Structure 1
């Protein structure tokens, strides 16, 4: 067979001369297409292989795309659709090729760093000094406080100190008292002295006995309030008196007075309270978080608005070992000389104590207080890694010490000189959340379960603990009887009416159900609850009635939903403690977006979310967090 040789030059001989530009362009397009479709031997096999590879590559790219919700980044699905929580359109999630060791890292461009306003500061070593600010009050020195009482029964004949606030000095006369018992005691002393004087023999036992009697009579008068000088005057004059003048045992100011002229008093009646003001105490209130910084002997300075421009200095001499349960503070006391009486009891003061933590020198590891993201149990900081070519931030969990003003001390997790993010850390953390990487709120980086997947949650590898597992086949923690548990059933049923009414956006139905719930509580026989259960029911009923009142009187559906949030918290706690008798499960439901993104829990009787806080606008927003089984009845 004769082989004919075809060339581009021979082909051009058939083409009109005015078309060469068009033909050349057409040929280039044909050649480019042919190179991607056939191989040089014309077998056609390369066409099939190329098509398969292209399809496989397309499918791989398609299957690797993860779709997420901009409002709920924990939602990650393999295909586009609607968010199962809020029904917003899903958006594609860009997945990085980080290794497992880089899962906490985020690479950013210089432009992105500028847009996010990210700033860093080095980890430094320094003195962890801080100022502890406290408020306080001037009070009396309790060691210079005296109660003046009557040592004998009688009648007050005369008052030398007759108003509160009067200053007295030690030894000043306070009052004169008439007492028949005093007259008898004086006569006993005079008689004993006369008997002693008649006994001449100093060495006889009779004289020794007489001396003992004289000493006893003197002691008796001393216990009645007579001074040694008054007793000596009595012996010298030999005259009795049925009246005695009582003198001030200390100097100071009369801060309380009960004595009145002509008043009859008994032994022990309080007549005056006298406080010495030459020295006063200052009681400061220190928060429990500040107590580690304070110690006895530590210097403290304070001032008062009543004395502007003056600063007083003292030392802590006592720290109360017991906290005030209501204010969560402990009393820190200092004392100061007050000879000029400028500081007056009940005067308010502001104090400052200066302290250093851990190491007295500059050996404390410090980071700015704006660097850590605090979750309550963990602290996360973002560190810029030392890379000259790329900007990479790495998240770390660190162990913090105490806060010292604008710094936190670091116990573990960072080294000196490392750069920590002090501004923009939350933006980095948010981006890691969107990429399903470990972050502040999701330390494992695992995909969170949705409300439709609550049956897959377990205590070992779920995103949250399983209430269903913990509540299965457990009796009520208070061990209440069947009658008490059954009496709560109408209460639960009416609560669920409120829950569904709000999910249906019906405030009127919710208000009616609130009123019915009030009647349910009134109908419960409190005698069914015994022992500790009785007190707990009383506590719960008081809380429930308060929330019911708020819900029934709500002026709008938002107020009704706010009352429902508080009502639900009480109902959930009550269910955990008492349980329920109905032969069906209750479902603990949670929505993180309610109440300004602080989240809220409520109970349902179905395992499909019916959001009582958003109603039809986001009816399925939320997730089932647990299943609450009926309580076991351990006694009838």
Structure 2
């Protein structure tokens, strides 16, 4: 049974042609109405074509129909939905190892910060104790170095024995170590020394503040998260592949990332040798150069990855499984046309992840209806019913 759906011929145009045919006074042939109707169909816009569904771009967007592309690859390819994430190597949590009251915040969300620059200042008794230890250690070091200089001078003048010089050197070394230890305790608290009862929390890397968990005047506990700083010059896209597909992906492979009119090439950085316990899929992480800032963390994208070797899917076209609908027992995809979509029968091969191989029916460069393509199936059935009733 052929499925036909197109723009219905306007009744006013058909009626006008019928009147014009009778006004000449000559009896119209039996097939005049059929001829006029066919001619009107041609003059009225678009001739009926099998499986055609006319939709404007606005109607496509309103229906939530996602447009995807078929992919042809000799070695196989996968087209998967993915999400832009921060580069795992370029994001750090900023916290303070001591608790206290936040008395200063120097950065807000989205603002840039350099490595070592102050993000916040915390005031507490513990900070006062740490800073006091630094001051005491610095004073002891100054005294020990002064004593060492004196003992060196006395030893050179043969007034003081070498044993006293060695003792002075040891005391100066110990004082130096004590000062470094006190300074490292402040650094371990997550910041740098400030006023006697305050500690400054510094950024561990250059980037942007992407999260802030504190407000001015808030009392925070030790090890509480204060900020997250991310270097967004590189972002990542994470894919979950079946073990068979993951085995055909190598670090350094290219992945095309698409969102609307924007396209970038990501490079595979990591292929997990361990499967996720829940999904039994392997994680693949690819990194994108984002120095131009065109990608945002959390943004949904479509990622196409070309698989190396193997025969699965070889010489076939891969489409997302969401693009395939069953109409009257036949597998169909909806190919984007100038005026909407055309229902196209296809022959399917083996599935590959979230995609399925199409062995016949497509060239491999078509744009298809993906998510929500079932609305087109419903519209196709409605159009068929309307034509079947006339």
Q: Partner of 1:318 in structure 2?
A: 270
Work out which of the residue numbers 142, 149, 154 in structure 2 matches 1:194. Answer: 142
Does the residue aligned with 1:293 lie in a helix, a strand or coil? Answer: coil
CA distance in 2, matches of 1:150, 1:160: 15
Please report how far the alpha carbon of residue 131 of structure 1 lies from its aligned counterpart in structure 2 after TM superposition.
Answer: 2.0
CA distance in 2, matches of 1:275, 1:253: 5
Please report how far the alpha carbon of residue 150 of structure 1 lies from its aligned counterpart in structure 2 after TM superposition.
Answer: 1.3
Please report how far the alpha carbon of residue 273 of structure 1 lies from its aligned counterpart in structure 2 after TM superposition.
Answer: 1.6
Cα deviation 1:219-243 (Å, max 9, x = unaligned): 322331399x977xx9xxxxx7333
Please report how far the alpha carbon of residue 288 of structure 1 lies from its aligned counterpart in structure 2 after TM superposition.
Answer: 4.4
Q: Is the 8 A contact 2:269 2:287 kept in 1?
A: yes
Q: With CA pairs under 8 Å and 6+ residues apart, which has the higher RCO, 1 or 2? A: 2
Q: Is the 8 A contact 1:129 1:356 kept in 2?
A: yes
CA distance in 2, matches of 1:137, 1:323: 20
- TM-score normalised to the size of structure 1? 0.33
Work out which of the residue numbers 153, 178, 182 in structure 2 matches 1:220. Answer: 182
Cα deviation 1:546-571 (Å, max 9, x = unaligned): xxxxxxxxxxxxxxxxxxxxxxxxxx
Please list, as runs of the form range in 1=range in 2, the aligned pairs for 1:100-115 lying within 5 A after superposition: none
Please list, as runs of the form range in 1=range in 2, the aligned pairs for 1:409-488 lying within 5 A after superposition: none
Assess, with a 3 A threshold, how the Cα gap between structure 1 residues 348 and 146 changes in structure 2: closer, same or farther.
same
Matched, 1:250 2:205: yes
Q: Is the 8 A contact 1:154 1:264 kept in 2?
A: yes
Work out which of the residue numbers 262, 265, 276 in structure 1 matches 2:217. Answer: 262
Higher share in helix: 1
Q: Is the 8 A contact 2:137 2:179 kept in 1?
A: yes
Matched, 1:334 2:289: no
Matched, 1:130 2:76: yes
Q: Is the 8 A contact 2:210 2:228 kept in 1?
A: yes
Assess, with a 3 A threshold, how the Cα gap between structure 1 residues 297 and 194 changes in structure 2: closer, same or farther.
closer
Of structures 1 and 2, the larger Rg is shown by: 1
Does the residue aligned with 2:168 lie in a helix, a strand or coil? Answer: helix
Assess, with a 3 A threshold, how the Cα gap between structure 1 residues 266 and 193 changes in structure 2: closer, same or farther.
farther
Cα deviation 1:436-495 (Å, max 9, x = unaligned): xxxxxxxxxxxxxxxxxxxxxxxxxxxxxxxxxxxxxxxxxxxxxxxxxxxxxxxxxxxx
Please report how far the alpha carbon of residue 174 of structure 1 lies from its aligned counterpart in structure 2 after TM superposition.
Answer: 1.1
Assess, with a 3 A threshold, how the Cα gap between structure 1 residues 189 and 285 changes in structure 2: closer, same or farther.
same
- TM-score normalised to the size of structure 2? 0.52
CA distance in 1, matches of 2:316, 2:265: 32
Assess, with a 3 A threshold, how the Cα gap between structure 1 residues 266 and 184 changes in structure 2: closer, same or farther.
farther
CA distance in 2, matches of 1:268, 1:173: 17
Q: Partner of 2:128 in structure 1?
A: 180
Please report how far the alpha carbon of residue 401 of structure 1 lies from its aligned counterpart in structure 2 after TM superposition.
Answer: 9.9
Please report how far the alpha carbon of residue 139 of structure 1 lies from its aligned counterpart in structure 2 after TM superposition.
Answer: 0.6
Does the residue aligned with 1:249 lie in a helix, a strand or coil? Answer: coil
Q: Partner of 2:295 in structure 1?
A: 343
Assess, with a 3 A threshold, how the Cα gap between structure 1 residues 170 and 183 changes in structure 2: closer, same or farther.
closer
Q: Is the 8 A contact 1:285 1:329 kept in 2?
A: yes
Q: Is the 8 A contact 1:189 1:217 kept in 2?
A: yes
CA distance in 2, matches of 1:208, 1:214: 10
Q: Partner of 1:383 in structure 2?
A: none
Please report how far the alpha carbon of residue 346 of structure 1 lies from its aligned counterpart in structure 2 after TM superposition.
Answer: 1.0
CA distance in 2, matches of 1:311, 1:368: 21
Q: Is the 8 A contact 1:131 1:352 kept in 2?
A: yes
Assess, with a 3 A threshold, how the Cα gap between structure 1 residues 248 and 198 changes in structure 2: closer, same or farther.
same
Please report how far the alpha carbon of residue 186 of structure 1 lies from its aligned counterpart in structure 2 after TM superposition.
Answer: 2.9
Please list, as runs of the form range in 1=range in 2, the aligned pairs for 1:370-381 lying within 5 A after superposition: none
Q: Partner of 2:234 in structure 1?
A: 279
Q: How many residues align?
A: 237
CA distance in 2, matches of 1:302, 1:148: 31
Please report how far the alpha carbon of residue 153 of structure 1 lies from its aligned counterpart in structure 2 after TM superposition.
Answer: 3.8
Q: Partner of 1:168 in structure 2?
A: 113
Deviates more, 1:137-146 or 1:152-161: 152-161
Please report how far the alpha carbon of residue 324 of structure 1 lies from its aligned counterpart in structure 2 after TM superposition.
Answer: 4.0
Please report how far the alpha carbon of residue 303 of structure 1 lies from its aligned counterpart in structure 2 after TM superposition.
Answer: 0.8
Q: Partner of 2:86 in structure 1?
A: 140
Q: Partner of 1:158 in structure 2?
A: 104
CA distance in 1, matches of 2:214, 2:294: 29
CA distance in 1, matches of 2:216, 2:273: 45
Higher share in strand: 2
Q: Partner of 1:499 in structure 2?
A: none
Alpha carbon RMSD of aligned pairs, Å?
3.8
Does the residue aligned with 1:311 lie in a helix, a strand or coil? Answer: strand
Give the unaligned 5+ runs of structure 2. 1-72, 153-164, 319-348, 361-390
CA distance in 1, matches of 2:79, 2:270: 17
Give the unaligned 5+ runs of structure 1. 1-126, 235-239, 370-399, 409-636
Please report how far the alpha carbon of residue 328 of structure 1 lies from its aligned counterpart in structure 2 after TM superposition.
Answer: 4.9
Q: Is the 8 A contact 1:151 1:223 kept in 2?
A: no
